[in-house]
């Protein structure tokens, strides 16, 4: 089976600072992979490298059979990536509907079936469609952010810290939705600090530390790993 996403030996720099150091990572079609690590471990930079917001100095990013290392973000999204950014980053002064339209920007602003699909997953968004996104509660905003990313029918959904800033009950609800989306066949790369929750739903996991991969494997075995438990699971 060919991988959906394959990052090969990537080195990414911010100016003189070496962030990702020889990172190699792959995601199979339909797989849910989580990327764990503490602060400044390079998790967000990995997502930015996948999306093409930063370009690696060496190494390659292959998505859906094509080398996209030098391609623009816009190209990659057109090819089937989507992201739920850290802190959701909704367009607060725009309506829920307009936010969803922006998610399908490269697909002409969204077809009726795309809206239907998202509204089916989040019926609340249909009720709130004319409301300004900035006036919604945190949990509702999370739904908009996920709905917005799903509008383009992505093959690979990237999620940057989906649990951040959410009450525990909402974290649980979020991950239920993530599971549900995953079960519909969307591959996902989830970047998380909350290792416990994300490993519970992931197929596989990678652990980053200061820009290097320190651990990888099936989610179940990572949950049992002594070092990881000490570092992230707190028990």
Q: Which residues bind other proteins (CB under 8 A)?
A: 51, 53, 72-74, 77-78, 83, 85, 89-94, 98, 101-103, 105-106, 108-109, 148, 152
26-56 CB burial, b ≥16 within 10 A, e <16: bbbebbbbbbbbeeebbbbbbbbbbbbebeb
Closer CB to other proteins, 62 or 102, in the complex: 102
Shortest Å, Cβ 117 to other proteins: 17
Shortest Å, Cβ 155 to other proteins: 14
- Segment 103-106 long-range contacts (CB within 8 Å, at least 24 positions apart): 103/147, 103/148, 103/149, 103/150, 103/151, 103/152, 104/151, 104/152, 106/74, 106/77, 106/78, 106/152
Closer CB to other proteins, 92 or 220, in the complex: 92
Shortest Å, Cβ 114 to other proteins: 14
Closer CB to other proteins, 50 or 207, in the complex: 50
Shortest Å, Cβ 172 to other proteins: 26
Closer CB to other proteins, 16 or 234, in the complex: 16
CA nearest neighbour of 98 among 75, 140, 129, 59: 129
Closer CB to other proteins, 102 or 215, in the complex: 102
What whole-number distance in Å separates Cα of residue 135 and Cα of residue 55? 35
Shortest Å, Cβ 148 to other proteins: 7
Residue with tokens 């030996």: 9
């Amino acid at each position: 089976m060919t991988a959906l996403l394959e990052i090969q030996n990537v080195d990414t720099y911010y100016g003189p600072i070496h962030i990702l150091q020889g990172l190699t990572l792959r995601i199979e079609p339909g797989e849910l992979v989580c990327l764990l690590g503490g602060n400044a471990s390079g998790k967000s930079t990995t997502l930015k490298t996948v999306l093409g917001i930063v370009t690696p100095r060496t190494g390659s990013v292959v998505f859906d059979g094509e080398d996209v290392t030098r391609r623009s973000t816009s190209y990659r999204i057109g090819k089937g990536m989507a992201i739920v950014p850290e802190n959701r980053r909704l367009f607060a002064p725009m309506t829920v509907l307009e936010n969803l339209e922006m998610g399908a920007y490269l697909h002409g602003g969204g077809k009726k079936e795309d809206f239907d699909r998202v509204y089916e997953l989040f019926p609340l968004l249909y009720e709130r469609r004319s409301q300004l996104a900035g006036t919604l509660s945190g949990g509702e905003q999370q739904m908009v952010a996920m709905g917005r990313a799903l509008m383009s029918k992505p093959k690979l959904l990237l999620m940057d810290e989906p649990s951040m800033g959410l009450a525990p009950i909402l974290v649980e609800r979020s991950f239920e939705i993530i599971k549900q989306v995953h079960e519909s066949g969307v591959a996902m790369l989830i970047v998380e600090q909350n290792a416990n929750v994300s490993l519970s739903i992931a197929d596989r996991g990678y652990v980053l530390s200061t820009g290097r991969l320190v651990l990888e494997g099936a989610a179940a075995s990572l949950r049992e790993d002594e070092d990881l438990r000490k570092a992230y699971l707190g028990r």
